Amino acid sequence: MKRYVIVGNGIAAAGCIEGIRKTDKNTPITVISGENYPVYCRPLISYYLQGRTSLEKMQYREGTFYRDNGCEVIYGETADRIDPAEHTVLLSNGETLPYDKLLIATGASPFLPHFDGIETVPQRFSFLTLDDTLALEKAICETSKVLIVGAGLIGLKCAEGLKDKVGQITVCDLADNVLSSILDDDTAPIVQAHLEQNGVEFLMGDSVNSFHGNTAVMQSSRQVEFDILVTAVGVRPNISLIADIGGEVNRGVVVNTKMETSIPDVFAAGDCSEGYDLSIGKNRVLALLPNAYIGGFTAGVNMADGNNYFDNAIPMNSIGFMGLHIMTAGSYAAEKDGGTVYSKMLSDSVKKFFVKEGKLKGYILIGDILGGGIYTSLIREKTPLDTLNFDSLTENASLFAFPCETRRKKLGSVVQYYVI
């Protein structure tokens, strides 16, 4: 009997299950889950820490999801090795599972640079999984002094989650700007200032040189006292299952637009994979929830002998920090490559648009994020900007900036979507 196996139990795995079941209603699916929870929405862990959501509300699908889709889930185990010749997966409990089609959805793990003396820190945590959050929640109290190493998305979401739970939060990073992967020199200071107004202290352009118990000695020689350490320097895709059997890997597991790896009958999706980025025209890791789901769904359809492609992925983020909303997408390289940058800097919002060769390549919105979906569609559809009123669109994202025929098509698609 044919059998599907999915290694990992995150958003990409959920997408894969639904992709398979789109055409194949009966073939058994086995999911290998390293965590002991059903699939949950990982970006919500900071809101759980704040008390704004519950464990139940964090679930990505209903409690009957696996049963309804004919899935067996093996919790608390991982895959140790793939044998592509025998089409088997060896599990950490010693069990061997046969597969006909296999999805690798192993996600990413926290990256921890070498810090002298880190083993002397009594209470140190990551902030990537639900277990990380539950452990951190137990450790903190209202007088805790928290040091977060890393001013990226993970570190700042952790700071937000801790805001009203602890006495002091200090964030340090070697980069000069917060959120350096998604903001630029103009927009990052706005976000940092907002977080500082909400009680977060920053040490930018500085990081830890060594730890001595609950004291961090910075590269600037400054000493920072803390009770709780959170390391949020970054993550690394979990690629070893494919690398160990000679599959093609770079930073992530390399896949094509059908989510196939270089190993026959083995697919990959989610944060462990490296696929095509429309905004730059080449492969890279796009560790984002929507891309994980779409990539997983695409893999599932193709694992069930369908024919689906994921060829319009772009980096995009929609996120909030303490009431300040941010939306970004695409590439900002136009600013360096002879393109044009349109900036709208207002007292309570910022809009930046990066244009090259007559097309929108990327954008940054802070405060007023209305119209982000329209801007994203312009990037994905490679819409020539001379076919619409782009100046009007930068002021007010509305379909009225498009020609009548385009409006009819877009509105027709919306009507068709809701009718279906």
> What CATH code is carried by the domain that includes residue 360?
3.30.390.30
Inter-residue contact 233 to 141 (CB < 8 Å): no
Range of the domain at 394: 323-419
Q: Is residue 26, in this structure, part of any structural domain at all?
A: yes
Rounded Cα gap, residues 17 and 6, in angstroms: 9
Torsion from C-alpha of 118, 243, 281, 352, nearest 10 degrees: -20
Determine the 3-state secondary structure of 332 from DSSP: coil
Identify the pLDDT of residue 417: 36
Of 245, 273, 303, the residue that ends a domain is: 303
Same domain, 18 and 44: yes
Q: Is residue 315, in this structure, part of any structural domain at all?
A: no
Name the domain count of the chain: 3
Identify the pLDDT of residue 405: 63
Sheet harboring 88-91: ordered strands across? 79-83, 88-91, 96-98
Same domain, 105 and 129: no
Determine the 3-state secondary structure of 13 from DSSP: helix
Q: Residue 213's closest CA among 114, 118, 120, 115?
A: 120
Same domain, 177 and 81: no
**How buried is 264 (Cβ within 10 angstroms: 0-12 exposed, 13-18 middle, 19+ buried)?**
exposed
Same domain, 45 and 56: yes
- Token pair 């795995």 is found at 13
Q: How far is CA 204 from CA 145, 152, 175, 187, 314, in A?
A: 18, 12, 6, 15, 28
Same domain, 222 and 166: yes
> What CATH code is carried by the domain that includes residue 156?
3.50.50.60
pLDDT in tens, the chain (420 residues): 689 999 999 999 999 999 999 999 999 999 999 999 999 999 999 999 999 999 999 999 999 999 999 999 999 999 999 999 999 999 999 999 999 999 999 999 998 888 999 999 999 999 999 999 999 999 999 999 999 999 999 999 999 999 999 999 999 999 999 999 999 999 999 999 999 999 999 999 999 999 999 999 999 999 999 999 999 998 999 999 999 999 999 999 999 999 999 999 999 999 999 988 988 888 899 989 999 999 999 999 999 999 999 998 999 999 999 999 999 999 988 767 777 888 888 767 899 999 998 999 999 999 989 888 889 989 988 999 988 888 888 887 766 556 666 656 655 544 443 343
Of 206, 233, 260, the residue that ends a domain is: 233
Inter-residue contact 270 to 39 (CB < 8 Å): no
Q: Is residue 298, in this structure, part of any structural domain at all?
A: yes
Same domain, 20 and 32: yes
What amino acid occupies position 107? G
Same domain, 170 and 207: yes
Q: Is residue 310, in this structure, part of any structural domain at all?
A: no
**How buried is 61 (Cβ within 10 angstroms: 0-12 exposed, 13-18 middle, 19+ buried)?**
middle
Q: Is residue 293, in this structure, part of any structural domain at all?
A: yes
Q: What is the DSSP letter of 59?
A: B
Rounded Cα gap, residues 346 and 366, in angstroms: 10
Of 189, 218, 233, the residue that ends a domain is: 233
Identify the pLDDT of residue 420: 33
Q: Is residue 258, in this structure, part of any structural domain at all?
A: yes
Taking residue 399's Cβ as centre, other Cβ atoms within 10 Å add up to 15
Strand partners, 318: 327
Same domain, 133 and 186: yes
Ramachandran quadrant class, 94 (left: phi over 0; alpha: psi -120 to 50; beta: rest): left
Inter-residue contact 232 to 129 (CB < 8 Å): no
Identify the pLDDT of residue 415: 41
Same domain, 285 and 354: no
Q: Is residue 312, in this structure, part of any structural domain at all?
A: no
Inter-residue contact 89 to 79 (CB < 8 Å): yes
Total-model pTM: 0.91
Supply the DSSP string of 150-203, one letter for each residue.
Answer: --SHHHHHHHHHHTTTSSEEEEEESSSSTTTTT--TTTHHHHHHHHHHTTEEEE
Same domain, 296 and 327: no
Taking residue 228's Cβ as centre, other Cβ atoms within 10 Å add up to 23
Identify the pLDDT of residue 361: 92
Same domain, 277 and 294: yes
Same domain, 247 and 352: no
Percent helix, percent strand, percent coil in the chain, to nearest 5: 30, 30, 40
Q: Is residue 60, in this structure, part of any structural domain at all?
A: yes
